[in-house]
Amino acid sequence: MVDVTVWNEFRHEREDEAVAAAYPDGIHETIADALDDEHDVGTATLDELDHGLTDDVLEATDVLLWWGHEAHDEVTDSVVDRVHDRVLEGMGFIALHSSHYAKPFKRLMGTSCSLQYREDGGTERLWVVDPGHPIADGLDGSIELPETEMYGEPFDVPEPDRQVFISWFEGGEVFRSGCCYRRGNGRIFYFRPGHETYPIYEHAAIRRVLRNAVEWASPPEGSPRTFGERT
Amino acid sequence: MVDVTVWNEFRHEREDEAVAAAYPDGIHETIADALDDEHDVGTATLDELDHGLTDDVLEATDVLLWWGHEAHDEVTDSVVDRVHDRVLEGMGFIALHSSHYAKPFKRLMGTSCSLQYREDGGTERLWVVDPGHPIADGLDGSIELPETEMYGEPFDVPEPDRQVFISWFEGGEVFRSGCCYRRGNGRIFYFRPGHETYPIYEHAAIRRVLRNAVEWASPPEGSPRTFGERT
Amino acid sequence: MVDVTVWNEFRHEREDEAVAAAYPDGIHETIADALDDEHDVGTATLDELDHGLTDDVLEATDVLLWWGHEAHDEVTDSVVDRVHDRVLEGMGFIALHSSHYAKPFKRLMGTSCSLQYREDGGTERLWVVDPGHPIADGLDGSIELPETEMYGEPFDVPEPDRQVFISWFEGGEVFRSGCCYRRGNGRIFYFRPGHETYPIYEHAAIRRVLRNAVEWASPPEGSPRTFGERT
Amino acid sequence: MVDVTVWNEFRHEREDEAVAAAYPDGIHETIADALDDEHDVGTATLDELDHGLTDDVLEATDVLLWWGHEAHDEVTDSVVDRVHDRVLEGMGFIALHSSHYAKPFKRLMGTSCSLQYREDGGTERLWVVDPGHPIADGLDGSIELPETEMYGEPFDVPEPDRQVFISWFEGGEVFRSGCCYRRGNGRIFYFRPGHETYPIYEHAAIRRVLRNAVEWASPPEGSPRTFGERT
């Protein structure tokens, strides 16, 4: 039982009918629904006080999932500081899709996190390149998503500790879609799939990955909260 | 509950009184004793048929610990092949002390695994450099061993995936004493401490590391046994 | 000016008319031709004495390129030992295409090096995922090869130190086509393109990669030849 | 010939007689003196306009060395942004000693970069753990510094791409003293030695490391300046 918080920008769903149709309760609720059979799941959104990420919420969170897209800049630096500190203490952090540009992810990576993209609704196939990794547990050799936005290389991130997925796109591109990192005591997973109109987070195999990633990213029992105190 | 096999060369203990005094039942029994409260532990030794590592034994082993020193060359290549295959399938492998030169470890590393050493009985201090790693769970910042054989750099192994421990030696050297790797589906941990006359495996913190390492190296539930079959 | 040796199995070219048409002087001569404007290039083949890789030849080689396919098993273990030792001393090693199963490459990797494949003559596009890497110097964002044999994931190799290329295949697969490693003092590059009938090594961008890889893999001036001597 | 800029806080030397005695012209001039036989070296300091790091200066810099200690917070964020951008474009960055807490280094690492320390003037011995690395070129197996400030683990940085040095300290600690990274197109080296009163940068072997590190960190000829433009 892991204490999970699903964070969502939650703007597209309230501004755009197509998005509201795909995710009527918000992307966060669909993701939470994929996790709450096994875990204790809360949600938080941009327009709540402190974006819903108070000290108390973060203190009680083992793994934070993050979905942002059009309003990365509205996330205040004090909340970014707080999230960053908690990851270094040991909280898991899972950045989804367009959250490659989310402030906490960029802070953790130290790079621009830029990539290529094209909105073309083509097919994506995610290949499992590390079949023994816990995040690939229970999956077949690949996951096919019939309609997606394309993300292409080069993806400006540090060389991943473990590469779990690489995507093939119908239009001719590839992308490192599942990347594992450790920073401080915290585990970080970037997972590409997800979009505001394609119902990616309803897909059974994608939901399985989210559950596996939450298990993998949760801190070990009794792990330390500090790093590098002074002698 | 992990199925563990502790493999020991078991020669020094039968040839040398000082070693027999330190490990009267063999190093394998002392290591097994550190693990068998929590796990299902068997042992195997060089002079058994197939060195005690038949297909059936390996098939039923989740994590194999290995202690060898003076008779690395007597391990037959067919057993090395079998151990190597099982690690790539997902069996964990923990190489202890002088097993840096064990055939299965060298096969997995692809390097000479050479190092410097000096028998001087000086103090060693193992520093935890990755306090959030599961293998460091429950440890203080360092472990002190009053009398040890010195191992020094350069240690010719591939750059570890994670460095958990670095040792300080009274005589002026350092050594990368706890190194994590993944090869195929299997997890590998090299752990330096251990010697045939100093009773290192009776030390409480060292026993804690062995237990943590067994947990870390055990394959995830339902992980695949194959890698790279033909299309 | 780097001392290069290009090793080729040189069997297909003498047994099969289609291969002889693509590479009339042998694959090794086509590769040597891509390199000898800038470097001092020799060749060696399987059916020469010691496979053309005597101590003297290896001693004088800075970078060894290797192309093998149908006769990996005929390479004698004593030559494999010699190549392996020289790589650990600092000689660069570039494994091409089907040489993922070459004995020296498998020895260096420590894994099965297995992969998926399909002979279908489809298009391959190699994406540069690390544009600042010396091996990608002077390339565009991707290299397109109109007809190739497909290689697919999972590719059972250790996580690369640097991933330079990832391939997209028309048939729906991806592959980690350019992988950098260090073992001992030596630099290793696996490069997927190449086939006995498609004239891949005549392609200008592929020839550029071969030249870049030779530069990258050559040992630094005055680097040590030893590792881990005894105190 | 590499275009080098040596940046120094240059406060201690003007405030403290002991520091002025060790480095009468400033630490930057002593470092520049170690490099300018081979390279085109300029300097820049905190109290210059834009800390001496204008767009023009950075545009013309291949490798930037950084020494800061008591005034990290006075470095303006706009200069940090500029340095960070240039590293991702390909400029090398060498962080010295207490610059583990420098803003540009922390930005690139994404971690707290905290460590243990003790001002005790004890002996430090830097062991070369990667003797084939270009930064270790021409060095013996270790470098001894008779009087240093101790830095100890855990050092909260991402797992280095290559570990070149590990330090042994007389007082009982170890430290990962030479750490290589790639971020974007840029190469980064953290090098521990250096202090405001001990004349570390006069030591011949340390000066050799600085020269080697500048060579290693300089961008390859014709490398790209961009990463991840939009399709």
pLDDT at D157: 98
Q: Which residues share a beta bridge with B52?
A: none
> Closest residue of B to C182, CA-based?
B158
Interface contact B116, partner C, CB < 8 A: yes
Pick the CATH number of C3-110+176-217 from 3.65.10.10, 3.90.550.10, 3.40.50.880, 3.40.190.10: 3.40.50.880
Question: Can you tell me the mean pLDDT for D209-221?
Answer: 94
pLDDT at B229: 43
Q: Is it the case that residue B231 has pLDDT exceeding 50?
A: no
Q: C99: Cβ–Cβ under 8 A, 6 or more apart, which residues? A: C66, C67, C68, C69, C105, C190
Q: Which residues share a beta bridge with C167?
A: C126, C175
If you classify domain D3-111+176-217 with CATH, what class do you get?
alpha beta
Sheet holding D63-67, edge to edge: D40-45, D3-8, D63-67, D92-96, D186-191, D174-183, D162-169, D116-128, D142-152
Interface contact C223, partner D, CB < 8 A: yes
Question: Can you tell me the mean pLDDT for C189-214?
Answer: 95
* ipTM of the prediction: 0.95
Q: How confident is the model at residue D224 (pLDDT cuts 50, 70, 90)?
A: low
Inter-chain contact C185–D132, Cβ cutoff 8 Å?
yes
pLDDT at C227: 57
| Interchain CB contacts (distance < 8 Å): A and D | 72
Q: Which residue has the higher pLDDT, D197 or A114?
A: A114
Confirm if B166 and B193 have CB atoms less than 8 A apart.
no
Confirm if D188 and D217 have CB atoms less than 8 A apart.
yes
- The DSSP string of chain B is --EEEEEE---HHHH-HHHHHH-TT-HHHHHHHHHTTTSEEEEEETTSGGGG--HHHHHT-SEEEEE-SS-GGGS-HHHHHHHHHHHHHT-EEEEEGGGGG-HHHHHHH-S----EEEEEEEEEEEEES-TTSGGGTT--SEEEEEEEEEEES---SPPPSEEEEEEEETTS-EEEEEEEEEETTEEEEEE----SSS-GGG-HHHHHHHHHHHHHHSPPTT--S------
| CA B11 and chain centroid, separation | 17
D132 → closest Cβ in C138, C161, C223: C223
pLDDT at D230: 37
Confirm if D139 and D128 have CB atoms less than 8 A apart.
yes
B132 → closest Cβ in A90, A132, A161: A90
State the Cα–Cα distance between residues A24 and D10, nearest whole angstrom.
59
Chains with 3+ CB–CB pairs under 8 A to B are A, C, D
D221 → closest Cβ in C137, C184, C224: C137
Residues in chain C with CB shorter than 8 Å from the CB of D224 are 131-132
Q: Is the peptide bond before B224 cis (omega within 30 degrees of 0)?
A: no
Mean pLDDT of chain D: 95
State the Rg of chain A over Cα.
17
Which among C163, C67, C149 has a CA at the least distance from the CA of C116? C149
Which among B171, B173, B168 has a CA at the least distance from the CA of B145? B168
Question: Percent of chain C having pLDDT more than 90?
Answer: 92
- The shortest C-alpha distance from D167 to chain C (Å) reads 18
Q: How many CB atoms lie within 10 A of CB A65?
A: 30
Question: Can you tell me the mean pLDDT for D96-117?
Answer: 98
Q: What is the end-to-end Cα distance of chain A in Å, rounded?
A: 36
- The shortest C-alpha distance from C128 to chain A (Å) reads 7
State the Cα–Cα distance between residues A198 and A23, nearest whole angstrom.
9
Inter-chain contact D166–B166, Cβ cutoff 8 Å?
yes
Interface contact C167, partner A, CB < 8 A: yes
Q: Which residues share a beta bridge with A78?
A: none
Interface contact D140, partner B, CB < 8 A: no
Q: B31: Cβ–Cβ under 8 A, 6 or more apart, which residues? A: B6, B8, B65, B67, B96, B201, B210
What are the φ/ψ torsions at residue B110 (nearest 5 degrees)?
A: 80, 10
Distances (CA, A) of B35 to B5, B210, C94, C102: 10, 8, 44, 40
Question: Can you tell me the mean pLDDT for C118-133?
Answer: 96
Confirm if D10 and D23 have CB atoms less than 8 A apart.
no
Which among A226, A217, A214, A225 has a CA at the least distance from the CA of A35? A214
Inter-chain contact D228–A115, Cβ cutoff 8 Å?
yes
- The DSSP string of A85-131 is HHHHHT-EEEEEGGGGG-HHHHHHH-S----EEEEEEEEEEEEES-T
Q: A167: Cβ–Cβ under 8 A, 6 or more apart, which residues? A: A124, A125, A126, A127, A151, A174, A175, A176, A177, A192, C174
pLDDT at B197: 87
Angle D87-D93-D99 from CA coordinates, rounded to 5°: 120
pLDDT at B230: 37
In chain A, which stretches have pLDDT less than 50? Answer: 228-231
Residue A5, H or E segment: strand A3-8
Mean pLDDT of chain B: 95
Chains with 3+ CB–CB pairs under 8 A to C are A, B, D
Q: C114: Cβ–Cβ under 8 A, 6 or more apart, which residues? A: B227, B228, B229, C155, C156
Q: Is it the case that residue C172 has pLDDT exceeding 90?
A: yes
Q: How confident is the model at residue D229 (pLDDT cuts 50, 70, 90)?
A: very low
Angle A223-A224-A225 from CA coordinates, rounded to 5°: 120
pLDDT at B48: 98
C228 → closest Cβ in B116, B228, B231: B116
pLDDT at C109: 98
N residues, chain D: 231
Question: Can you tell me the mean pLDDT for B211-223?
Answer: 89
Inter-chain contact A224–B134, Cβ cutoff 8 Å?
no
Sheet holding B92-96, edge to edge: B40-45, B3-8, B63-67, B92-96, B186-191, B174-183, B162-169, B116-128, B142-152
| Predicted structure pTM score | 0.96
SS3 of A147, please?
strand
Buried b (16+ CB within 10 A) or exposed e, C188-226: bbbbbbbbbbbbbbebebbbbbbbbbbbbbbbbeebbee
Chains with 3+ CB–CB pairs under 8 A to D are A, B, C
Confirm if C163 and C129 have CB atoms less than 8 A apart.
yes
State the Cα–Cα distance between residues D26 and D14, nearest whole angstrom.
8
Distances (CA, A) of C113 to B80, C1, C154: 17, 32, 9
Interface contact D138, partner A, CB < 8 A: no
- The shortest C-alpha distance from D91 to chain C (Å) reads 11
Q: Which residues share a beta bridge with D29?
A: none
pLDDT at B121: 94
State the Rg of chain D over Cα.
17
SS3 of D130, please?
coil
- For residue C137, what are its two tokens? 């110097």
D34-93: per-residue pLDDT in tens? Answer: 999 999 999 999 999 999 999 999 999 999 999 999 999 999 999 999 999 999 999 999
C172 → closest Cβ in A125, A129, A173: A125
Domain positions in chain B are 3-110+176-217
- The DSSP string of C108-134 is HH-S----EEEEEEEEEEEEES-TTSG
State the Cα–Cα distance between residues D154 and B132, nearest whole angstrom.
10
- The DSSP string of D133-201 is SGGGTT--SEEEEEEEEEEES---SPPPSEEEEEEEETTS-EEEEEEEEEETTEEEEEE----SSS-GG
Q: Is it the case that residue C222 has pLDDT exceeding 80?
A: no
Q: How confident is the model at residue D225 (pLDDT cuts 50, 70, 90)?
A: low
State the Cα–Cα distance between residues B95 and B97, nearest whole angstrom.
7
Q: What is the end-to-end Cα distance of chain B in Å, rounded?
A: 36
- What's D69's DSSP letter? S
pLDDT at B195: 87
C24-69: per-residue pLDDT in tens? Answer: 999 999 999 999 999 999 999 999 999 999 999 999 999 999 999 9
User: Looking at the domain that runs over A3-110+177-217, which CATH code has it been given?
Assistant: 3.40.50.880
Residues in chain C with CB shorter than 8 Å from the CB of A167 are 174
State the Cα–Cα distance between residues C3 and C42, nearest whole angstrom.
8
Q: How confident is the model at residue D197 (pLDDT cuts 50, 70, 90)?
A: confident
Residue A73, H or E segment: none
What phi-psi label fits residue D224: left (phi over 0), alpha (psi between -120 and 50 degrees) or beta?
A: beta
Q: How many CB atoms lie within 10 A of CB C17?
A: 8
